[in-house]
Chain A
Amino acid sequence: MGTIIETNNLRAYYITKAYGVERTVKAVDDITLRIQEGEVYGIAGESGCGKSTLLRVLLNAYEPPLTVVGGEVIYHLDGERVDAADMTEEHQRDLRWRTISYIPQGSMHVLNPVRRIRDSFHDFISAHRDVSKSESFELTANYLRDLGLPEKVMASYPHQLSGGMRQRVTIALATILWPKLIFADEPTTALDVVVQRGVIQMLKDVQQKEGSTLILITHDIGVHANLADRIAILYAGKLVEEAATQTILENPRHPYTRFLIESLPSLDSREERLSIPGRPPALDRPPSGCRFHERCPLAMDICKTIEPALIEIAPKHFTACHVVEEELSHASAV
């Protein structure tokens, strides 16, 4: 299985100009990713770390003020290498939903309130396939049945469905044409845990049925633990650690990842969880050196001035931290 999407030194900034004052928010700064065909790739991090911005750029659906100032996004589709920046509007529209699709946040109202569910499906299907209304209805009915959704939602209006059902219908709507590459942005947020479970199971089913690639963005490490094969941890627009899910959960190396994992509640211990000290930095003036140094209890002098590089500390385990780097060099010296 090869790479399906990659980014090389991607930088995407929000550049705004108001009353002559230019403001640049470095939401995605120098990120390099390789996502394999058929895997579930999780992107985690706290609010404001650039997760959704990264997704917008990966999806090639962004508008000013968000601007890609450096690097590239490359798709590998059907053996063809496509640079997102060179894609024509037509090619782009052609890829959407058939090849690349997007599942929005559970709290978003993406279903037209005055249109029956089946008509929304027809709108989305007929935009990409030459089908009659009855053909799309049949396609929709079969797909919903496969996913275990009641057939009566077809004739319903969105307001008649519960939040969880709406999100499941949205997932079905996003994946009805069996896209190869599915982006999901906080698909379980704003749903209660019981409903979350069902939605996670459904995402799993959808992904496994055709072996699609799922890029899952959420701040909820629990959801990642359930779904993702690999996890990338984002902090202040930077990729700070990337490894297989198991490794991230059991052997996190970057101090920020450790804080994230340690703050998870567990059934075994009932003690109070520590929160990460401080708050995330403002991205219009990010800290010098390692962006985490202000909140990091292990910070050394070098962390304040020099930006750590992303290095492979174990097979397929990457992290960007001076402390880890130094530990490793000591270990190898001994």
Chain B
Amino acid sequence: MNLLRTYILPRLLQWVMVVFVGITATFLIPRLSPVNPVDEMLARMTAFQSMDPDSFAAMRESTIALFGLDKSPIEQYITYWSRLLQGDLGPSFGNFPRPVSDIIATALPWTIGLLGTATAISWTSGVLLGALAGYYHNRRWAQVIERFVVVAYPIPYLIIAFVLILIFAAWLQWFPLVGGARGDPGFNWEYISSLLYFGFLPALSIVIGATAFRFIMAKSLTTTEIASDYVQYAELAAVPKRKIMLYYVARNTMLPQVTDLALSLGAIFEGALITEVVFAYPGIGFITYNAIYNGDYNVIMGVTLLSIVGIATASLLIDLLYPVFDPRVRLR
């Protein structure tokens, strides 16, 4: 009971505060931007035909009323919360009246598939290779990997993405330029293989940088760890190397790595904006980009809400689970 009151409850409250403040901020920011969803929509409608000014003004009025933007910001804010608490994210303004939750539900599996796989691959390989390269730092293969990573890591993401596109999509034409999959969705080899085929380049572009980052982190953590008194002492006592690597080095470097993994998994929900735009991949990042472009308040709100909840929940879980990983974290 004491644990609940002193450890769990404050963190749950913190979670609620973060989500509340985050939602309020994302409510305000698009409304302060110069892009207006009504004008964007009317501009699209009148792009190829003229309309007489009076009916244009009337239409503008009715659209504003339809979107609920004629009310004061306070009223809109209250309406938003009352709808949100019923699980309703409201309609999209860009694709009126398609509900935002529907748009997100369509895009989310793409992003989870792409980023989930990329995060799993880059975290596992980065952490493993980094730990091995740190532990066997005198070996030749470790030095070769490190040189490679040190060169790859500082290359800006956009350049990696474009070089991959140029080489594999434009020049060799091994992989498609844009898109998510081919054929009708279904659990058949044709569709699933096309998912891998289309997802390969975007995933690779993310994996390169993310692996390099985790490799560097894991290697430096391991280097610090093998110089620690307890590793040196266990080596002196001739404790088997495999045991030292596992229970003395890796076990201790895991602590920050687990935090990193949880936050990365939480961050999946915000999508990979640049990747998805560059590869025209139909995920969360892509709809976010379009929503910002069109001033689609409700989609921006929906996506941001998802990412705030994702990250806040990930850090809440880390906080709650950390005592399991690190005995030094005392329950205060």
Contact = CB atoms under 8 A, between A and B. Distances in A.
Nearest to B230: A112
Interface in B239-266: 239-240, 243, 247-248, 251-252, 255
A128 interface: yes
Interface in A85-112: 92-94, 96-97, 101-102, 104, 108-112
Prevailing SS type, chain A contact patch: loop
Q: 6 closest pairs, A vs B, by CB? A: A93-B238, A110-B233, A96-B238, A108-B229, A157-B327, A127-B239
Contact of A123 (B228, B243, B327): B243
B327 A128 contact: no
Interface in B195-238: 228-230, 232-234, 236-238
A52 B307 CA distance: 55
B326 interface: yes
A49 to B, nearest CB: 23
29 contacts: A61-B236, A96-B236, A96-B237, A101-B237, A102-B236, A104-B229, A109-B229, A109-B230, A110-B229, A110-B232, A110-B233, A112-B234, A112-B247, A112-B252, A113-B252, A113-B327, A114-B251, A114-B326, A114-B328, A115-B247, A115-B251, A123-B239, A124-B239, A127-B237, A127-B240, A127-B243, A128-B238, A157-B328, A159-B327
A287 B289 CA distance: 74
Nearest to B231: A112
A167 to B, nearest CB: 13
A129 to B, nearest CB: 12
Contacts of B327: 113-114, 157, 159
A97 B230 CA distance: 15
Contacts of A157: 327-328
**Chain B CB within 10 Å, residue with most, of A112, A113, A119, A128:** A112
A249 B223 CA distance: 45
A159 B230 CA distance: 13
A93 B232 CA distance: 14
Interface string B319-332: 00000001110000
Interface of A: 59, 61, 92-94, 96-97, 101-102, 104, 108-115, 119, 123-124, 127-128, 157, 159
A56 to B, nearest CB: 10
Chain B, interface size category, equals 20 to 34
Contacts of A109: 228-230
Contacts of B255: 114
Contacts of B243: 123, 127
A259 to B, nearest CB: 33
A97 B328 contact: no
A124 B239 CA distance: 6
Contacts of B230: 109-113
Nearest to A119: B247
A161 to B, nearest CB: 12
Given A108-B229, A110-B229, A112-B247, A124 B237 contact: yes
A241 to B, nearest CB: 30
Nearest to A97: B237
Nearest to B244: A123
Nearest to A102: B236
Nearest to A109: B229
Contacts of A92: 238
Given A109-B228, A157-B328, A123 B247 contact: yes
Contacts of A94: 238
A136 B330 CA distance: 28
Contacts of A93: 238
A122 B237 CA distance: 12
Given A112-B247, A123-B247, A97 B229 contact: no
Contacts of B248: 112, 115
Given A109-B228, A109-B229, A114-B252, A123 B234 contact: yes
Nearest to B247: A115
Contacts of A115: 247-248, 251
Nearest to A96: B238
A248 B89 CA distance: 86
